[in-house]
Amino acid sequence: MQLKNVIESPCGLRYMLDQLELQSGYARRWLLDSPMMTSEEEIAAAYGVLRRFSQFIDQVEKTYIDTLLFKLQGLKDIRTTIRNLSQHAVLDDIELFEVKHLAILATDVARLLQQHGMDAVVEIPALDEVIAILDPDGMKIATFYIYDSYCAQLKDLRSQMRQHPDQQDDLLAQASELEEGVRQDLSRQLHPFADAMGQAQAALALIDVNLAKALQIKQLGLSFPTMSPDGTSHYRAMFHPQVKDALASRARKFQPVDIGFGHHPTLITGANMGGKTVVLKTLTLCQYLFQFAFGIPALEARIAVKDEIYFCIGDEQSVEKGLSSFAAEMKNIDAVIKASRMNKKLLALIDEPARTTNPTEGAALVTALLKVLADKDMSLVMTTHYDIEPGDARCLRVKGFENGEMDYQLVEVQSGEVPHEALNIAQSLGIDNEWINTARSLLESCPPS
């Protein structure tokens, strides 16, 4: 599973990537190709590097960081060239230019990092020999051609060209044979450095990505998580950056939420518009951010590593593919149940399952789902509007509508009983009175059992 496979998840991962100020297109591709980490050691190591970069940008002057960022803008994707080099191909002038450009860039960046002891954090292989091969005159600039000093005969032909432009075509033909010989020779000399070039390119991408993540932590007020070894996860003052920004643009504030979950299924109930779906979205987002080693949008976060993450929400894409919304949802949840039997550590976040069918069967499906998943080794968080028997599940409820305002905090309750606030909320939205009042009188004359 690579980042690019989950980037369009409805949890809002794409927004976090869009907010990431990467300097090079190559670093973006490199990040999208990176696999989701599923071992504690790997994740801890990645956060170790990120933490060093985070301290680094706090400690050094801004102009220094700006210089580094500006340098990284020069990072290009030359994987094809490096592959050609490792396969003994003869590189052309453009490819040789790319090799020289990368070698000089890597050396410059390594020198900048060295000044602050950051060279131990990300190791960039030394490429001085590559530069020496492609810079025979010691000019130390990142331009390239088949220099005169590679071949005395070539130098001679070129000065003839300048003196006798009328013989240019003939002289060029002779020169191009000599140039090809030089290219063969250079490619042979450079071949042993192909691996080091590849490592240098990846190291520069890693630096670009970590600087961007560290800057994002500052900009969005994210935090470093701690590892939870017991399979449970806990968040204090968790928020969803995209929703927060959207609210801020309408001069409204996002109310952060505290939540913990783990061994037992967690059932979230609460009024409409109470932010239940946003809670699930944020939990999914945080889990992905954790396993790709980004800053976490919460004041504090203690997170358990999972092998697989399932976020089941009314999926419009499946509906576009021609599946009914019920069928699409059932298939998604079915995948969770199948995966739960595979002896893997799972996190499943399911938003209002079976909401599009009749309430009798819907409630039965949800109760059964809770029963089926309860004895599996997984973390499950589910929202519902149905009144169901929670069994083993922990029940959380959105505080709800109080004094004309929505309180989005979650409180622990003893049963899964759902609040009956739909009509009040509809009324506060200014929905047609005749409709709402008729519904109210229907409820009064025939209250639900």
Partner 1 sequence: MLPFIDEILRYDSLSIVGLEKNTGKTECLKYVLDRLPVQDKRIAVTSIGIDGETVDQVTRTQKPEIVLREGMYFGTSEMHYRQRRLVSELIDVSDETTSLGRVVTARALTGGKILLSGPSSASSLRRWMGEMRRLDIDLVVIDGALSRMSSASPAVSQSMILATGAAYSANISTLVSKTAHVVDLVNLDLTSKGNIARLMPLDKGVWSIDKDGNLSSLEAVTSLSRDIHFEGMEQCETLYVAGALVDGFLEKVRKNKSLKQVELVVRDFTKIFVSPQQFRLFHKGGGRIHVLQRSRLIAVTVNPTSPSGYVLDSDMLCGKLSEAIGLPVYDLLKNKQ
- Residues near 246 by beta carbon (within 8 Å), at least 6 away in sequence: none
Nearest distance from C-beta of residue 25 to partner 1, angstroms: 6
| Measured distance CA(159)–CA(108) in Å, rounded | 34
Task: Examine residue 150 and tell whether it contacts partner 1 (CB under 8 A).
Answer: no
Q: How many residues bind partner 1 (CB under 8 A)?
A: 19
Task: Examine residue 250 and tell whether it contacts partner 1 (CB under 8 A).
Answer: no
Sole binder of partner 1 in the list 52, 76, 116, 264 (CB under 8 A):
76
Task: Examine residue 152 and tell whether it contacts partner 1 (CB under 8 A).
Answer: no
* Token pair of 295 as six digits: 């800053």
Phi-psi region of 177 (alpha: psi -120 to 50; beta: other; left: phi over 0): alpha
Q: Which is nearer to partner 1, 101 or 276 (CB)?
A: 101
Which span sits near partner 1 by CB under 8 A: 55-63, 97-105, 212-220, 277-285? 97-105
Which span sits near partner 1 by CB under 8 A: 27-35, 159-167, 295-303, 312-320? 159-167
Tell me the residue type at 390: P
Distance in Å from the first CA to the final CA of the chain:
47
Task: Examine residue 98 and tell whether it contacts partner 1 (CB under 8 A).
Answer: yes
| Measured distance CA(352)–CA(350) in Å, rounded | 6
Kindly write out the interface string for residues 353-392 of this chain, putting x where it contacts partner 1 by CB under 8 A and - elsewhere.
Answer: ----------------------------------------
| Measured distance CA(388)–CA(361) in Å, rounded | 12
Residues 394/264, Cβ–Cβ less than 8 Å: yes
Q: Which is nearer to partner 1, 180 or 417 (CB)?
A: 180
Task: Examine residue 169 and tell whether it contacts partner 1 (CB under 8 A).
Answer: yes
Which span sits near partner 1 by CB under 8 A: 123-131, 165-173, 395-403, 426-434? 165-173
**What is the footprint of partner 1 within residues 100-129 (CB under 8 A)?**
101
| Measured distance CA(136)–CA(197) in Å, rounded | 19
What are residue 202's DSSP bridge partners? none
Alpha helices in 221-358 (DSSP H): 241-249, 276-291, 316-320, 325-340
Sole binder of partner 1 in the list 63, 87, 140, 165 (CB under 8 A):
165
* Token pair of 377 as six digits: 């080794």
Task: Examine residue 93 and tell whether it contacts partner 1 (CB under 8 A).
Answer: yes
Which span sits near partner 1 by CB under 8 A: 112-120, 158-166, 370-378, 403-411? 158-166
Pairing of strands 233-238, 346-351: unpaired
Nearest distance from C-beta of residue 104 to partner 1, angstroms: 13
* Largest Cα span, the chain: 107
Helix (H, G, I), strand (E, B) or coil at 302: strand
Sole binder of partner 1 in the list 32, 172, 342, 439 (CB under 8 A):
172
Nearest distance from C-beta of residue 134 to partner 1, angstroms: 11
| Measured distance CA(382)–CA(388) in Å, rounded | 12
Task: Examine residue 327 and tell whether it contacts partner 1 (CB under 8 A).
Answer: no
Q: Which is nearer to partner 1, 169 or 230 (CB)?
A: 169
The string of DSSP letters for 2-21 reads BHHHHTT-TTTHHHHHHT--
Kindly write out the interface string for residues 11-50 of this chain, putting x where it contacts partner 1 by CB under 8 A and - elsewhere.
Answer: --------------x-------------------------
Nearest distance from C-beta of residue 225 to partner 1, angstroms: 34
Pairing of strands 233-238, 226-227: unpaired
Sole binder of partner 1 in the list 42, 92, 300, 407 (CB under 8 A):
92
Pairing of strands 300-303, 233-238: antiparallel
* Token pair of 105 as six digits: 């860039």
Binding site for partner 1 (CB under 8 A): 25, 76, 92-94, 97-98, 101, 143-145, 158, 161-162, 165, 168-169, 172, 175
